[in-house]
Amino acid sequence: MQDDFSEADRRGLYRAIHTRRDVRSSFTGEQINDESLVRILDAAHHAPSVGFSQPWDFVLIRKAATRKKIKESFDAATAAAASELDSGRRSKYMSLKLEGIMEAPLNICITYDRGRFGPFVIGRSSIPDTGVYSVCCAVQNLWLAARAEGIGVGWVSILSQDDLRAALGLPDKIVPVAYLCLGHVGEFARKPDLESAGWLPRMKLGDVVHYERWGARTDPQWSAIEDMIRRNIA
């Protein structure tokens, strides 16, 4: 195929994938360049979507008054979540920095519109959630593009969807899927914060791969791949 990627092209993609971080601190406050932001949004808009339904919207938020309401929702939801934990894990949980809503210069809420181009959307009849899945693919495109532009992104999910609807004026039919905080950062950490903090370890690739059917961790037809995964050649 003539259209193939060069080594340099591939390296750029893999670099974005492997150095992308979920950023909650170290926002510098520097404003995001307008051209960068448009490229990031355009990348998100070029995600795959079920039946080409493109069911996403992007609400861009800079106003402090709006962000303050979201921060209040986060504080309430964090307290509720902490009450589920025993005292040891609770104090560790409360010590983690889990959002940068006010520090990041830009917040973006990405939403799902189930009515877009509907009611019939190709590929959505059997598994209705595929509409939301498309929006998540747009989130990941945005995240990788932001990384390549030197912009950190933090996904804040300790929020009430009702509070988001009220703060942003979302109609009932619109589902808020992701609330993201974007901004330049001092550095991208080498590892995820929750791995560095010892909250959870990174799993090995071999622990999440099955051959031909669930639970089959080995298969004679797949021995070359098994061996490469074990040796971590990627």
For a second copy, the binding residues in 19-58 under the rule CB under 8 A are 19-20, 22, 34-35, 37-39, 41-43, 45-48, 50-54, 56-58
Under the binding rule (CB under 8 A), the answer on residue 100 touching a second copy is no
Residue identified by tokens 């747009």 is: 138
Binding a second copy by CB under 8 A: which of 70, 104, 145, 181? 145
Residue 64 binding a second copy, by CB under 8 A: no
Of the CA atoms within 13 Å of residue 83, those in its CB half-sphere come to 5
Judging by DSSP bridges, how do beta strands 106-113 and 174-184 pair with one another? antiparallel
Q: If binding is defined by CB under 8 A, does position 150 make contact with a second copy? A: yes
Shortest distance in whole angstroms from residue 89 CB to a second copy: 8
CB of 206 vs a second copy, minimal distance in Å: 10
DSSP result, 80-141: HHHTTS-HHHHHHHHHS----TTTSSEEEEEEEETTTT-S--TT-SS-TTHHHHHHHHHHHH
Of 72-91, which residues contact a second copy (CB under 8 A)? 77, 80-81, 84-85, 89
Judged by CB under 8 A, does residue 139 bind a second copy?
Answer: yes
SS3 154: strand
* Interface with a second copy in residues 104-123 (CB under 8 A): 111, 117, 120, 122-123
176 in helix, strand or coil?
strand
> Minimum Å distance from CB 37 to a second copy?
6
Q: What is the DSSP string of 19-73?
A: H--B--S-B--PPPPHHHHHHHHHHHHTS--GGG---EEEEEE--HHHHHHHHHH
| Residue 59 dihedral angles phi and psi, to the nearest 5° | -100, 115
Does 98 sit near a second copy (CB under 8 A)?
Answer: yes
Q: With CB under 8 A as the rule, give the number of residues binding a second copy.
A: 122
The footprint of a second copy on residues 166-225 (CB under 8 A) is 168-171, 174, 177-178, 184-188, 192, 194-195, 199-200, 202-203, 205, 208-215, 221-222, 224-225
